Homo-oligomer: A and B are copies of this chain.
Amino acid sequence: MARIVMKFGGTSMAGIERIRGVAARVKREVEAGNEVAVIVSAMAGETDRLVGFCREASALADPREYDVVVASGEQVTSGLLAIALQSAGLKARSWLGWQLPISTSDAHSSARIQDIDTTAVLKAMAGGEVAVVPGFQGLTADNRITTLGRGGSDTSAVALAAALKADRCDIYTDVDGVYTTDPRIVPRARKLDRITYEEMLELASVGAKVLQTRSVELAMKEKVRVQVLSSFSDAPGTMVVDEDEIVEQELIAGVAYNRNEAKVTVVGVPDKPGAVAAIFGPLADASINVDMIVQNIAHASKTTDVTFTVPRTELVRSLDVLAAIKPEIGYAEVLSDDAVAKISVVGVGMKSHAGVAVTMFKALADRGINIQAITTSEIKVSVLIAEEYTELAVRVLHTAYGLDAAA
C-alpha cells in the first residue's frame, strides 16, 4: 500500500465526461490498495474567464478580491470530482484551502504555501476516503483566500505530497511525459523514464513547460518523487527523482530551445572597474531579466564589448534604459538582434564529462551554424544562434548526443 497524490490539470477536468474519466483513474489507485489525495485545477478556460471578469471590473483589481473570484474555479471542480467519485462507488469529500487549511503568505495572487494542516485529511484518508483538494488556493493568517499564481496547482500537489509524506506525486497532463526534446521538431525524440529534478528545472526554464518551475524546486527541496503522465493514455510517464535514484546515468537528458529572447551588444564600453555594473544595475532596477552575459577581454583600444540576452518582449524597454545611461558610461553604440534562439543541452552526467561542449560546438560548426554566445552551468551548456537554424540545431544535437529513438 502506498500513499499517493494525484494532480489533474484543466484539460483533464474540462467537463463532466472528463471528470468521470478522472474518477475512474482515481478508483483504480484506490482499488490497488492506495491512500489517495487528489489536487484539481479549474476546468480549462474557467480561470481565464474569471480573470477576465476581474480585469473588466478594474484594471487594478484588489488582489484580495481577485483571489476570491479566481479561486472559485477549483472550488467547483473539487466538489464535482467528489460527486463523481461517490457516484463511482468510492468514499470522497472535498477539502477547500480554508478548510484544511493550506496556510500561505499574504502575497495575494502569487502567494507561497507555508504550511498544510493534514490532521483531518490524513484521518479521512486512513478511513478509506479520497481527499479532493482544489489546487492553486490557500488561506492567509487573517482568514482571507489566496491564490498561488498561474500554474500553481502543480505546486499545491507537490506541497500536499510533502505534507502527507506521500510515496509519489502523479501529475496528470495532456502530454505523456518528459521528452528528450520537442517531438514536433524531432520525431525520434524519446520519452524519458526518469529525469533528475535539476535536469527538469533546466528543461522547464528553457522552454519544455511540462511542470511549473516552482513545483519542481519544491519537489527537489522536499524530495518528493514526481511522476508526469497523461490523463488520456495508460502509458507510464516520466519519474522526476533525486540523482541518487538514477542508476545508469545518461550523459545528456535532453535538448531544449527558447525563441523568446533577444540579443543586445553594448559596443565600446570603457575597460575600467564598475563599467559592467553600471550597465546591469539599471536593467535590474527596471526589473528586466537578463539571461546570458558574455564579455571578452579588452581590445587594444582599452574598450570591451558586452553581449547579453533579455526577453524579447523587454527589448524596447532595455534599449531605452541603455540610451538613458549612455552619457554616464560612455559606450560607442548598442546593437540588437531579436532573431536569435538559445539552444541548450541538459544533463547531470555532464559534470564529469568535459567533452560535452566540444561535441556541441563541433556538431553545430559542421552544419555551418555560427555560435554568437555561450554560457554554461553545472548541468547545462547553452549557445545563442540565429533563429532560422533552431530546428536544424536541435535535430543535429539530438543525434550527436545519441538521443534518437531506434528507428
A62 and B50 contact, CB distance less than 8 A: no
Does A401 sit within 8 A of B, measured CB to CB?
A: no
Give the interface SS of chain A, mostly helix, strand, loop or mixed.
helix
- CB of A172 closer than 8 Å to a CB of B: no
Chain A contact-residue range equals 35 or more
Enumerate chain B residues within 8 angstroms of A72, measured Cβ to Cβ. Answer: 72, 75-76
Cross-interface CB contact of A80 among B57, B86, B96, B99, cutoff 8 Å = B57
Q: Contact partner of A76 among B50, B62, B143, CB < 8 A? A: B50
Among A63-71, A213-221, A231-239, A253-261, the stretch in contact with B: A63-71
Asked if residues B62 and A69 are in contact (CB atoms below 8 Å), the reply is no
Q: Per a CB cutoff under 8 Å, which of B57, B75, B76 touches A20?
A: B57
* Chain B residues within 8 Å of A69, by CB: 75-76, 79-80, 83
Q: In the complex, what's the smallest C-beta–C-beta distance from A157 to chain B, in angstroms?
A: 20
Q: Which of B57, B87, B94, B96 is within 8 Å of A57, CB to CB? A: B87
User: A87, B75: Cβ atoms under 8 Å?
Assistant: no
Render A1-34 as a binary contact track against B, CB cut-off 8 A, 1 for contact. Answer: 0000000000000001001100000000000000
Which B residues lie within 8 Å of A67 (CB)? 79
CB pair B53–A66 under 8 Å, yes or no, is no
A56–B94 touching, CB < 8 Å: no
Report whether A56 and B16 are in contact in the complex, using a CB–CB cutoff of 8 Å. Answer: yes
With A62-B93, A65-B79, A66-B83 given, name 14 new contacts (CB 8 A): A16-B57, A54-B83, A57-B80, A58-B84, A61-B83, A62-B82, A67-B79, A68-B96, A69-B75, A69-B80, A71-B75, A72-B72, A75-B75, A99-B144
Specify which of A50, A79, A99 lies most central, judged by the most chain B CB atoms within 10 Å of its CB.
A79
Q: Give 3 nearest A-B pairs by CB, closest first.
A: A68-B79, A69-B79, A58-B87
A20 to B53 Cα, complex, angstroms: 12
Residue of B nearest to A77 (CB): B69
Could you tell me which residues of chain A, from 357 to 390, have a CB within 8 Å of some CB in chain B?
none
Contacts of A79 in B (CB 8 A): 54, 65-69
A98 close to chain B: CB less than 8 A: yes
| Chain B residues with CB under 8 A of A83 | 54, 57-58, 61-62, 65-66, 69
* Closest B residue, CB atoms, query A134: B68
Within 8 A of B (CB), among A43-65: 50, 53-54, 56-58, 60-62, 64-65
Return chain B residues, CB-CB under 8 Å to A76: 50, 53, 68-69, 72
Q: A180 at the A/B interface (Cβ < 8 Å)?
A: no
Asked if A103 is at the interface (CB within 8 A of a chain B CB), the reply is no
Complex CA gap A2/B58 in Å reads 29
Within 8 A of B (CB), among A75-111: 75-76, 78-80, 82-84, 86-87, 93-94, 96, 98-99
Across the interface, which residues of B come within 8 angstroms of A66, CB to CB?
A: 79, 83
Tell me which of A80, A83, A93, A99 has the highest count of chain B C-beta atoms within 10 A of its own C-beta: A83
- Residue of B at shortest CB range from A96? B68
- The interface residues of chain B lying within 8 Å CB-to-CB of A98 are 98
- Chain B minimum-CB-distance residue to A20: B57
Could you tell me the distance in whole angstroms from the C-beta of A282 to the nearest C-beta in chain B? 34
